Amino acid sequence: MTDTPAAEAPRTITWIGGLGRALLPKSFFEKPFRIIVRKCKSDSKIHSSVRMWLTNVVEKCEVGYPYLASFLDSDENFMIYRRFGFLHARLLLQRQDELRIMEEELDRMDQRDKLQNIRMLQCRIDDDLRTDQAGETRKSLLSRIEDAILKYDQLLLNAQQLVAANRPPQRDYNSVANFVRHKKPLIQGDDDFIYNKEDLITLRPGRESAWLDAFVEKMLKLFPRTVVKYIFCSNVSLITQLTESRDIGLG
């Protein structure tokens, strides 16, 4: 990593597990930054996801989609994506109507054999071996129906899972939206996904302790920095310095 220039005042932020995001002030997103790691009792306890985030952002992913991807992957709370509800609905309607047509074809075939050759409905082998049928056979039609209905089922179940997925909490949405708006990793248009708020879901699993996370985050913002350090110092896994022209405050 690049050493911090002597002329720049270090901007420090304390990470406590996954709660570091709550301490990022808005000014963090307004200027380019570089990160250096400093030990806090034992940097062997540095959270692996934070370490990977530092590596990706600083050494590998400086611009574009790699930059945004490394940020979204840095914390499970930032894993926010579109579910494309409208497109799922359109595809389901398309597949549904295709199946409707095949269903009608099968019904007409069954009704015809019911009147003309009922044995074809009673013995599958005879129906497969028949030679008196013009056009598509029942076996061929059922094969097409199978392919179509399996695709429909998979799409339907995927859509169900996406509908049941959690919507991102406001604080997590704000973190990602601020990054996209201020750091501008993507060109205009490519970044439109973040503005489709009603279509966004989070990959973060729901947890019973989520309310506690939010409460602790608020307390971390309210208490003076010295108090926070006194309480959490033994558990702090990482202190990073963000080098910019002004100090970062925790408020």
Residue pointed to by tokens 């049941």 = 164
Q: How many other C-beta atoms lie within 10 A of the C-beta of residue 27?
A: 15
Supply the pLDDT for residue 215: 63
Structure tokens at 3: 């050493």
Mean of pLDDT values over 73-98: 95
The full DSSP string for 27-86 is: GGGTS---EEEE-SS-GGG--HHHHHHHHIIIII--SHHHHHHHHHTT-GGG-EEE--HH
Nearest in space to 162 (alpha carbons), one of 107, 84, 218: 84
Q: Looking at the predicted structure, is the pLDDT value of residue 32 above 70?
A: no
Most confident of 24-28, 88-92, 244-248: 88-92
pLDDT, tens digit (0-9, with 9 covering 90-100), for 205-241: 875 455 566 666 666 656 655 555 555 443 333 433 3
**φ, ψ of residue 83 in degrees (nearest 5):** -95, -10
Residues 49, 53: Cα–Cα separation, whole Å: 6
pLDDT mean over 22-43: 42
State residue 179's pLDDT score: 92
pLDDT tier for residue 70 given thresholds of 50, 70 and 90: confident
Retrieve residue 130's tokens.
């028949």
| Domain residue ranges in the chain | 10-82+167-243, 85-164
In this prediction, residue 65 has a pLDDT band, given cuts at 50, 70 and 90, of very high
Calculate mean pLDDT across residues 50-55.
Answer: 51
Residue 11's pLDDT band, with cuts at 50, 70 and 90, is: very low
Mean pLDDT across 38-63: 50
> Please, are residues 242 and 28 in contact by the beta-carbon 8 Å criterion?
yes
Query: H or E segment at 185?
Result: none
CA of 180: how far to CAs of 32, 44, 168, 184, 243, in Å?
13, 32, 16, 5, 20
pLDDT band at residue 201 using 50, 70 and 90 as cut-offs = very high
Average pLDDT over residues 73-86: 92
